[in-house]
Each structure stands twice: as C-alpha cells, then as structure tokens.
Amino acid sequence: MRAVRERCVWSQRITHRDLVPYLIEESHEVIDAVEDGSRADLREELGDLLWQVLFHSAIAAQDEDDPFDIDDVARTLTEKMVRRHPHVFADAVATTPEEVLVHWNAAKAAEKRARTSVLDGVPRGMPSLALAQKLLGRAAGAGVGTAAQDAAQEPSSEAELGDALLALVATARSHGWDAERALRERLRVLEDEVRAAESVG
C-alpha cells in the first residue's frame, strides 16, 4: 500500500472522501460473498475490503496535523477489544452470550461518556432499513415505543418479512412514493421523539 500510495499518480491524489464510494461498494461485495458466494469469493472480497482500510490508513499517515498509520489503527482496535472482553482478558465472568453483551455494553458506555443521547454515534449514512433497525433498538432503550404491525398480519419468518417489505415497496412504487425517503423521514420523527423523551427523563 505504501508503494502504491507513493508511486501511483491516481492513488496519490485520492482522499478519504474519494474512497467512501469504494468502501461502501466493497462492503456490499463482502455481504454478497457471505450470502451467495464461494469461499474463494469471500477470501477475495475480504482482501478488497482490507485494502480500503490500508488505503485510508496510508492517507491518514500523510496528514500534517494528526497523522496515524495502520499500526496505530490496529493498536487502537486491540485496546478496544481487550476493554470490551473483560471475560477473556481480565477476571470478569461470562458464561452466556447475554452476559458477554452486558460486559460489552458496559465497556462501550464507559468509553462513550461524552455522549448525551442514545442516538449519538449512530451513522446517518446507513441504508434506511438498517438505520431503522438500529434506531428502533436505541429508541426502546430510551423507553420510546413504536406501533407494531397488526399481529394477524405479522410475518412469522424472515422470508415472510421479505415478502411484506417487497409488497410495501411495490405499494410505494404504484403510488409514485419514494420508499427510501418515506422511511428516512419517519426515522427523523422517531429521533425527535427519542430526544424529547430523553430531555424529559
């Protein structure tokens, strides 16, 4: 990566912002390989994703004000994972996945003390369905509920959920509505509801 950054005229001009579309694309290609690819596909796509991390680190290493390199990235990650796994690296005990999650969340909360809302740190650039799932979890943690679908029509499997989501998108399309925008706008309302509940509490 260092050689490419130093000797490739295209790579020399690339910024973190320029790489964002590639990072998103490579992430989706990993997902495709996991869900529908071969082991060789997965190995290749993980390498492509790793290249993005190496590329960002090489760019960061050249920053005049606050440089860091891949070793710093790895060191920061290692420190975080050690903190978040006290049942592995310290004397905490966790015999179930639920107990592991308790340790993980406690460590994460301690790291993020400066955050004032359960919504802080949720990346706004997530696809709307993934963002909705994340925000609903955070909203529940803040005591804000949302209306669930009628139990009589509620999907009973992920396959049925896929059918229901596709049917909703088809409905949106038939009315000329933008399903992505509709969900994002509803999520903004949910965020307002969560922040309002936090300010009261």
- The string over 33-58, giving b where at least 16 C-beta atoms fall within 10 Å of a residue's C-beta and e elsewhere, is beeebeeeeeeebeeebeebebbbbb
Of 10-14, 58-62, 116-120, 157-161, least confident by mean pLDDT is 116-120
Question: Mean per-residue pLDDT for 70-88?
Answer: 96
Question: Mean per-residue pLDDT for 38-59?
Answer: 97
The letter for the amino acid at 2 is R
Alpha helices by DSSP H, the chain: 2-7, 9-13, 16-36, 39-61, 70-84, 86-89, 97-111, 128-141, 158-175, 179-200
Predicted pLDDT of residue 152: 58
Mean pLDDT of the chain: 89
Predicted pLDDT of residue 144: 80
For residue 89, pLDDT over 80 is answered with: yes
Residues 6+ apart with CB under 8 A from 86: 92, 103, 107
Longest CA–CA span in the chain (Å) reads: 63
Per the model's pLDDT, the better-predicted residue between 144 and 38 turns out to be 38
How many CB atoms lie under 10 A from the CB of residue 156? 7
Judge whether 194 and 132 are in contact, CB under 8 Å. Answer: no
For residue 120, pLDDT over 90 is answered with: no
Looking at the chain, the whole-number percentage of residues with pLDDT higher than 70 is 96
Of 45-59, 82-96, 105-119, 176-190, least confident by mean pLDDT is 105-119
Q: pLDDT of 145-192, one tens digit each?
A: 766 555 557 899 999 998 988 888 888 888 888 888 888 899 989 989
Counting Cβ atoms within 10 Å, is residue 187 exposed (0-12), middle (13-18) or buried (19+)? buried
Reported confidence tier of residue 201, pLDDT bands at 50, 70, 90: low
Residues 6+ apart with CB under 8 A from 98: none
